Chains A and B, each alone.
Chain A
């Protein structure tokens, strides 16, 4: 294997996704995840991740690799990468946010949650429901009660757009 020499120099980890795909990454890249870090500290080099599917794991490894090589000079590059990273469908975002939560990668978690929160900010509840396809499971009476309990939150004008 061509990478043997490199493997000898750098400690490597194998991550196994919920779909049983295996990925080899450098330990220094992996330990940005608190979950992986704890396992590595306990001596594991093979890390099964039963809650993370391949599709999300590939993206997250990309993210970790990019952020592991953070220097003073590639700040802009990482910003652009992050911007592209969150520019995806909601279903992908939710998949990623679950994975980031499980893996305890706080900077990624913050970025994803911020991205989702930005779509809620200043919006009317009707717009938020449409944007995220949220099923309202209240009866009309229950809904009126909640609205009354938080009356001040509903005062004023809100953004009705679906952007």
Chain B
């Protein structure tokens, strides 16, 4: 029926499910709509305070939690951005939250996480009490100086911001792990090399800010996505990962002459392994790695002739743009975009090539004998952005 109030007739749990997708401020405002909405709001057990940090929302939160405590409502979900320093406010608030049904601090109540599949510890204060609770709740032995993670059903593991000295993390018996993210963790090459063969299901591996990584060797038929960024001492990534779909890394130049992409990303040999990937995006600080001596180019075949390549160079160019382009078009005759420059002055070149709809080129090609089409004949259009002409 058009114009009738159908939404308020929905059962309260459904109204609350809808409210659970709103931040507290939006959800609280619905109390004024009608009595049904006010009832749904006052007993809502899903509270998301959004991005406002705790200090600003303290008064309203005290009141909201008090209302729920009075009604004996257990809080199901609670999201709040905390300031970095611990304060008395937070301790008070934690007590109130516990009174509202947050039972993690009550080991005797024995909430079991025996089917724990996803564990995120970020900037966590892992005090003794917390570890005890965790040890009692899931079957994973935790020790503050040595972390052994042995959770047979674990699928997703994200470890972040552990103290740099704390390099003793043991991941054992996690055969089902599919997703591993290490951020700001002092793991070593040997550690990684020992671990990876024990993770036969690993699809996705992210590593960032791991300062001890120098040479990463990965051999896996399973791995689909790999990201290694901000690992400042990394020298080499050696991959034997035929099923990789996505790879992201920051490239830096190595002054040792011809290591194709210097310090970090693929050596020349590795880059060839990326040929026939659907698309590759390379971001780097400098164009130095791109420029390869001409006699070298004449001798070797294009490493990425079957792959669409996009390149972002975060600074200005050291070489003339024509030279950079010449090299990039050699690396990948299907160069998609090249952009370079800083923040507000990013120049972009976008390349469009002939495709099937353009019909066969009847002219004789210099590249007829090659298994790929050379850009000289296939290039249809180049769009320039942010260039000034004088």
In this complex, the member of A91, A97, A120, A135 whose beta carbon has the largest number of chain B beta carbons within 10 angstroms is A120
Of chain B, the residue at the smallest CB distance from A128 is B33
B320 within 8 A of A: no
Partner of B7, one of A132, A149, A153, A158: A132
Given contacts A91-B1, A120-B26, contact A98 B14 (CB under 8 A): yes
Q: How far is the CA of A134 from the CA of B34 in the complex (A)?
A: 7
A125 within 8 A of B: yes
Residues of chain B from 26 to 42 with CB closer than 8 A to chain A in the complex: 26, 28-35, 37-38
Binds A, one of B17-25, B94-102, B267-275, B283-291: B17-25
A8 within 8 A of B: no
Determine whether the beta carbon of A122 is less than 8 Å from that of B26: yes
A residues less than 8 Å from B7 (CB atoms) = 90, 94, 116, 132-134
Partner of A138, one of B19, B30, B34: B34
Q: Give the distance to chain A from B330, nearest Cβ to Cβ, in Å.
A: 32
A136 within 8 A of B: yes
Given contacts A146-B38, A152-B59, A152-B60, contact A134 B32 (CB under 8 A): no
Inter-chain residue pair count (beta carbon < 8 A):
98
Partner of B33, one of A113, A117, A129, A158: A129
Determine whether the beta carbon of A146 is less than 8 Å from that of B32: yes
How many positions in chain B have a CB within 8 Å of any CB in the partner chain? 34
Q: How far is the CA of A136 from the CA of B17 in the complex (A)?
A: 21
Q: How far is the CA of A110 from the CA of B18 in the complex (A)?
A: 8
Q: Give the distance to chain A from B390, nearest Cβ to Cβ, in Å.
A: 44
Q: How far is the CA of A146 from the CA of B29 in the complex (A)?
A: 9
B residues less than 8 Å from A4 (CB atoms) = none
Contact with A along B1-25 (1 / 0, CB 8 A): 1111111111101100111111011
Q: How far is the CA of A48 from the CA of B19 in the complex (A)?
A: 30
Of chain A, the residue at the smallest CB distance from B67 is A149
Determine whether the beta carbon of B21 is less than 8 Å from that of A147: no
Residues of chain A from 123 to 163 with CB closer than 8 A to chain B in the complex: 123, 125, 128-129, 132-138, 143, 146-147, 149-150, 152-154, 158
Partner of B19, one of A117, A143, A152: A117
**What are 12 A-B contacts defined by CB distance under 8 Å?**
A98-B10, A113-B21, A117-B18, A120-B18, A132-B8, A134-B33, A134-B34, A137-B34, A138-B35, A146-B32, A152-B60, A153-B28
A residues less than 8 Å from B33 (CB atoms) = 125, 128-129, 134, 136
Residues of chain A from 76 to 125 with CB closer than 8 A to chain B in the complex: 90-91, 94, 97-98, 101, 109-110, 113-114, 116-118, 120-123, 125
A residues less than 8 Å from B1 (CB atoms) = 91
Q: Give the distance to chain A from B42, nearest Cβ to Cβ, in Å.
A: 9
A residues less than 8 Å from B13 (CB atoms) = 101
A residues less than 8 Å from B21 (CB atoms) = 110, 113-114, 117-118
B residues less than 8 Å from A154 (CB atoms) = 29, 32
Of chain A, the residue at the smallest CB distance from B64 is A150
Determine whether the beta carbon of B32 is less than 8 Å from that of A125: yes
Of chain B, the residue at the smallest CB distance from A144 is B32
Q: How large is the interface on A (under 10, 10 to 19, 20 to 34, 35 or more residues)?
A: 35 or more
A-contacting residues of B (Cβ < 8 Å)?
1-11, 13-14, 17-22, 24-26, 28-35, 37-38, 59-60
List 12 other contacts, CB 8 Å, given A94-B6, A153-B26. A90-B6, A91-B6, A113-B21, A116-B7, A117-B18, A134-B7, A134-B37, A143-B32, A146-B32, A152-B28, A152-B59, A153-B29
In this complex, the member of A109, A117, A118 whose beta carbon has the largest number of chain B beta carbons within 10 angstroms is A117
B residues less than 8 Å from A116 (CB atoms) = 7, 18
Q: How far is the CA of A10 from the CA of B10 in the complex (A)?
A: 37
Determine whether the beta carbon of B18 is less than 8 Å from that of A101: no
Q: How far is the CA of A113 from the CA of B20 in the complex (A)?
A: 9
B residues less than 8 Å from A123 (CB atoms) = 26
B residues less than 8 Å from A143 (CB atoms) = 32
Of chain B, the residue at the smallest CB distance from A152 is B60
Q: How far is the CA of A138 from the CA of B32 in the complex (A)?
A: 8
Q: How far is the CA of A116 from the CA of B6 in the complex (A)?
A: 13
A residues less than 8 Å from B29 (CB atoms) = 125, 150, 153-154, 158
Q: How far is the CA of A129 from the CA of B37 in the complex (A)?
A: 11
Given contacts A94-B10, A113-B17, contact A133 B28 (CB under 8 A): no
Partner of A152, one of B5, B14, B25, B26: B25
Q: How far is the CA of A135 from the CA of B291 in the complex (A)?
A: 70
Q: How far is the CA of A137 from the CA of B18 in the complex (A)?
A: 21
A residues less than 8 Å from B5 (CB atoms) = 132-135
Determine whether the beta carbon of B30 is less than 8 Å from that of A128: yes
Of chain B, the residue at the smallest CB distance from A150 is B28
Q: How far is the CA of A127 from the CA of B244 in the complex (A)?
A: 49
A residues less than 8 Å from B30 (CB atoms) = 120, 125, 128
Q: Give the distance to chain B from A71, nearest Cβ to Cβ, in Å.
A: 14
Given contacts A91-B6, A136-B34, A146-B31, contact A101 B22 (CB under 8 A): no
A residues less than 8 Å from B18 (CB atoms) = 113, 116-117, 120
Of chain A, the residue at the smallest CB distance from B9 is A94
Q: How far is the CA of A143 from the CA of B18 in the complex (A)?
A: 22
Q: How far is the CA of A65 from the CA of B352 in the complex (A)?
A: 38
